[in-house]
Amino acid sequence: MDKQLKAQKKEVEMITDHVDLLIQSNSSKALNQDEYLTKYNALKERYDAEIKKYNEIEEQIASKQNKSKAIDNFIDNFKKHEEVLNEWDMFTWNIMLETAVVNLDKTITFKFYGGFETTV
């Protein structure tokens, strides 16, 4: 993922450089403004698409890092629990369960740390 992010960043920087060169060229030479706007708009569309991809990769990395931290936290907390687990108790629920939602159809959706979800 980091390699993807770096590659995407280079792509965004390349497009930004092209836009800068186009603007400089337009300000120093008499360019046909229709051609200039066509080129500029094409670069802007490309930039918008590439920056969207960049942001999506960043979000995926952050999500994976958050999941990793949650799993590490779960393992650390579980290791602190010195007793053998003979029955569910509040401690076990607190370190495993992220949320529990009571639905309109009287079912309960349990979302556990680590992303597992079940409805009963």
Where in the chain are the domains? 1-69, 81-120
Distance of CA 83 to the CA centre of its chain: 37
Q: Taking the CA atoms of 5, 10, 16 and 22 in sequence, report the sign of the dihedral they define.
A: negative
Q: Looking at per-residue confidence, does 115 or 21 come out higher? A: 21
Question: What pLDDT was estimated at residue 59?
Answer: 93
Read off the pLDDT of each residue in 22-46 and give the average, rounded to a whole number. 89
> What is the overall mean pLDDT for the chain?
86
pTM: 0.58
For residue range 41-92, what is the model confidence (pLDDT) as tens digits?
999 999 999 999 999 999 999 988 888 887 787 777 767 766 666 777 777 7
Burial readout 42-58 (b: 16 or more C-beta within 10 A, e: otherwise): ebeebbeebbeebeebe
Share of the chain above pLDDT 90, in %: 40
C-beta of residue 112 within 8 angstroms of C-beta of residue 100 = no
Question: What pLDDT was estimated at residue 83?
Answer: 65
